[in-house]
């Protein structure tokens, strides 16, 4: 378990060191931050290697119980657990974190707040590692919330811009909204299972009543939907792009948003016991998948295109979970982490060179930035799902699982599986279309910006090249039966029921169907060809302008933000204003009024204090005479 402790503590210590010394010694910030991520990556390679080589001995798994916190009822255990799933996700986190740290050195060169930025990235890495390795729901929640806070601070890195402030608050509030449900989900599940231990809850999944499991999983799903930016809580992610681009790569594409998916995969037997939740997940995933892909079609900001594509791809993972294949979901999570981190870093390289986020100001960068062009092309091909790039295999695994659940028996109702299958295929065409638009508008035609563009510095180039390798090749890991499914060895539904943590049971292979493969390639090429045809007619124009009347709807992402503004933001503002009015006009006025009134009444008494001793004495004498007369007459 030592590598696990190191993986969690190294970035944490780097963060602490960064916070305390970064301001005074800015030159140490870079080595501290980079070494924290590097040590964490090296540490998690060891359990990952063990998980990969576990082969003959069955499943790899190890856990440690560090402490137990008595609470009066259910104790909170500081438990850590490492298995194939945790180790592989941790490697993805480590690789992306290290790439982002190295990349940030160049991207944020000369930024006065670099040291606190790097420290927050380190803290985020530690929190994500904690989430990945936690075996107790409340310990996981700690990491989960720390990630949320880091995300808030990093989105608000440029806090002098009102945009960044607003986005940071929005991200924080929206994800917190989901976390309320998440917390109660943890309580429900923990109390029902009799322990907050994840491995215990997973083991108990079959014995709990269906109502309890449904309620618990639906509540947990709230947190997942918030963190993984699914409809209806997806609104924060596109706005989170106000943060620096490496942050978008690390937090808002590759790791934190995947935490929701990871959590479901971790608790998968519990979710499998609740078909209602799975159906809800399928519907949410379908709405998000297609909606976000359509919205990506008309965005002007390159990062917003990628943000919507992240939302859409996360929906694929959720869909895979809904149709009963956690392996496919985690597979897509890993490939997506690779190619989306690559895409964001490449987009950052483009933005850094051109000095704008807007697609219409780019163009013609192919010759000036060959490395960025090549790596981004790999990333975009993977995102579209073109063979042989990684996205193709993972997306096919998702669609294969949906096909299997639709045609044969699955954990979810077959209508939901059909929905996932059809929407998943449709989305591929839309994905291909927006990817093509992004690619053409960024790299082809004549340069539209006046400045002389050149390739980025090596610290920014190398992470791109390193990430391009898994983005291109990671897909093959899913091919062999003894490879990825076996390394992950997740609990899935098999004919005959659920097999929670059965070491003897062989992992189920990924199903890649011939029909879905052909269909998806045809659809992807169709989307590509359609955009290409539109673009060739007028290369300098935005192809999405051809959508005409539909375009505003897509650009505004179907006015969900406006709707929320009307439904929630304005009423809350109104209520807040009335609370302020009550505070000022009623409570404050009462307090201030009692003060001024007391002063005014006291003014009457003040008149008597004339300062003339003889007046006082006259009053005194009058009083004495009155008393004397009173005594005489009354007795």
Partner 1 sequence: MPLLMPLMVGALLFALGVYGVLARRNAILVLMAVELMLNAVNLNLVAFDVYLRDGLLAGQVFTLFVITIAAAEIGLGLAIVLLVFRNRATVELDGLTDLRETDPPTALPVTADEQAVAT
Residues 6 or more apart whose CB falls under 8 angstroms from that of 431 comprise: 293, 296, 309, 312, 383, 384, 385, 524, 527
CB of 335 to partner 1, least distance (A): 51
Residue in 267, 278, 263, 372 with CA at minimum distance from that of residue 321: 278
Angle between helices 390-407 and 514-537 (to 10 degrees): 130
What single-letter DSSP state applies at residue 134? B
Q: What is the C-alpha R_g of the chain? A: 30
Residue in 11, 245, 225, 237 with CA at minimum distance from that of residue 106: 245
| Residue closer to partner 1, measured from CB, 458 or 588 | 588
| Residue closer to partner 1, measured from CB, 575 or 592 | 592
Joined tokens for residue 559: 């006015």
| Residue closer to partner 1, measured from CB, 614 or 633 | 614
CB of 629 to partner 1, least distance (A): 16
Query: Which residue is associated with the tokens 């060191």?
Result: 17
CB of 632 to partner 1, least distance (A): 16
| Residue closer to partner 1, measured from CB, 67 or 613 | 613
| Residue closer to partner 1, measured from CB, 567 or 601 | 601
- Measured between alpha carbons, how far is 301 from 489 in angstroms, rounded to an integer? 40
CB of 611 to partner 1, least distance (A): 2
Residues 6 or more apart whose CB falls under 8 angstroms from that of 99 comprise: 249, 341, 345, 463, 466, 467
Signed CA dihedral, 437, 439, 445, 451: sign only: positive
Residues 6 or more apart whose CB falls under 8 angstroms from that of 263 comprise: 131, 140, 220, 223, 224
Cα maximum dimension of the chain: 122
CB of 633 to partner 1, least distance (A): 20
| Residue closer to partner 1, measured from CB, 545 or 622 | 622
**263 CB burial (10 A radius; 0-12, 13-18, 19+):** buried
| Residue closer to partner 1, measured from CB, 540 or 618 | 618
| Residue closer to partner 1, measured from CB, 57 or 596 | 596
CB of 605 to partner 1, least distance (A): 9
Residues 6 or more apart whose CB falls under 8 angstroms from that of 149 comprise: 172
- Measured between alpha carbons, how far is 403 from 405 in angstroms, rounded to an integer? 5
Q: How far is CA 329 from CA 30, 332, 365, 412, 526, in A?
A: 35, 5, 34, 15, 26
| Residue closer to partner 1, measured from CB, 572 or 617 | 617
Give strand pairing partners of 378. Answer: none
CB of 606 to partner 1, least distance (A): 5
| Residue closer to partner 1, measured from CB, 481 or 580 | 580
Chain residues that interact with partner 1, rule: CB under 8 A: 580, 584, 592, 595-596, 599, 602-603, 606, 609-614, 617-618, 621
CB of 617 to partner 1, least distance (A): 6
CB of 627 to partner 1, least distance (A): 16
| Residue closer to partner 1, measured from CB, 578 or 599 | 599
Joined tokens for residue 192: 């029902």
CB of 580 to partner 1, least distance (A): 8
Residues 6 or more apart whose CB falls under 8 angstroms from that of 17 comprise: 28, 32, 119
CB of 591 to partner 1, least distance (A): 11
CB of 625 to partner 1, least distance (A): 10
Residue in 234, 205, 221 with CA at minimum distance from that of residue 263: 221
Using an 8 Å Cβ cutoff, are 268 and 507 in contact? no
Residues 6 or more apart whose CB falls under 8 angstroms from that of 418 comprise: 406
Residues 6 or more apart whose CB falls under 8 angstroms from that of 341 comprise: 96, 99, 100, 249, 250, 253, 254, 467
| Residue closer to partner 1, measured from CB, 549 or 600 | 600
């Amino acid at each position: 378990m030592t590598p696990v402790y190191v993986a969690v503590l190294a970035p944490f210590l780097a963060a602490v060191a960064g916070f305390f010394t970064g301001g005074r010694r800015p030159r140490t910030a870079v080595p501290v931050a980079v070494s924290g991520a590097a040590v964490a990556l090296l540490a998690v390679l060891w359990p990952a290697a063990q998980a990969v080589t576990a082969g003959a001995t069955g499943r790899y798994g190890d856990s440690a119980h560090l402490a137990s916190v008595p609470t009066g009822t259910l104790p909170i255990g500081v438990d850590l657990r490492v298995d194939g799933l945790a180790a592989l996700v941790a490697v993805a986190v480590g690789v992306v974190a290290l790439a982002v740290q190295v990349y940030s050195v160049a991207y944020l060169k000369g930024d006065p707040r670099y040291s606190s930025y790097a420290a927050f990235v380190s803290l985020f890495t530690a929190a994500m590692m904690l989430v990945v390795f936690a075996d107790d729901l409340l310990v996981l929640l700690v990491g989960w919330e720390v990630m949320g806070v880091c995300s808030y601070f990093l989105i608000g890195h440029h806090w002098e811009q009102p945009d960044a402030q607003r986005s940071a608050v929005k991200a924080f509030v929206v994800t917190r909204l989901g976390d309320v449900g998440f917390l109660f989900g943890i309580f429900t599940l923990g109390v029902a299972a009799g322990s907050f231990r994840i491995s215990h809850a997973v083991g108990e999944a079959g014995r709990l009543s269906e109502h309890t499991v449904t309620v618990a999983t639906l509540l947990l799903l709230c947190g997942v939907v918030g963190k993984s930016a699914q409809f209806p809580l997806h609104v924060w992610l596109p706005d989170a792009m106000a943060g620096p681009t490496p942050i978008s790569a690390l937090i808002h594409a590759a790791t934190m948003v995947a935490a929701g998916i990871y959590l479901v995969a971790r608790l998968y037997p519990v979710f499998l016991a609740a078909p209602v939740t799975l159906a809800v997940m399928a519907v949410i995933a379908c709405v998000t998948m297609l909606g976000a892909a359509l919205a990506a079609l008309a965005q002007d900001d390159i990062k917003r295109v990628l943000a919507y594509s992240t939302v859409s791809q996360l929906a694929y993972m959720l869909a895979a979970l809904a149709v009963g294949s956690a392996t496919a979901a985690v597979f897509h999570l890993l490939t997506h982490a690779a190619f989306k981190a690559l895409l964001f870093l490449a987009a950052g390289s483009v933005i850094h060179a051109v000095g704008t986020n807007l697609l219409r100001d780019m163009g013609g960068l192919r010759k000036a930035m060959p490395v960025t062009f090549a790596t981004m092309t790999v990333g975009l091909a993977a995102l579209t799902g073109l063979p042989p790039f990684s996205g193709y295999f993972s997306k096919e695994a998702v669609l294969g699982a949906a096909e299997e659940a639709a045609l044969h028996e699955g954990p979810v109702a077959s209508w939901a599986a059909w929905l996932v299958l059809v929407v998943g295929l449709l989305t591929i065409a839309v994905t291909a279309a927006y990817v093509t638009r992004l690619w053409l508008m960024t790299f082809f035609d004549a340069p539209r910006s006046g400045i002389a563009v050149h390739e980025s510095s090596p610290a920014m180039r190398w992470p791109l090249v390193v990430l391009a390798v898994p983005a291109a090749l990671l897909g093959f890991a899913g091919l062999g039966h003894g490879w990825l499914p076996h390394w992950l060895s997740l609990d899935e539904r098999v004919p005959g029921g659920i097999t929670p943590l059965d070491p003897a049971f062989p992992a189920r292979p990924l199903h890649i169907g011939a029909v879905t493969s052909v269909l998806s390639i045809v659809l992807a090429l169709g989307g590509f060809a359609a955009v290409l045809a539109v673009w060739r007619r007028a290369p300098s124009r935005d192809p999405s302008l051809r959508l005409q009347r539909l375009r505003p709807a897509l650009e505004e992402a179907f006015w969900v933000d406006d709707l929320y503004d009307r439904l929630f933001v304005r009423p809350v503002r109104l209520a807040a204003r009335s609370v302020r009015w009550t505070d000022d006009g009623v409570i404050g006025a009462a307090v201030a009024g009692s003060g001024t009134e007391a002063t005014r009444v006291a003014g009457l008494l003040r008149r008597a204090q004339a300062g003339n001793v003889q007046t006082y004495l006259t009053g005194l004498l009058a009083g004495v005479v009155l008393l004397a007369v009173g005594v005489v007459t009354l007795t």
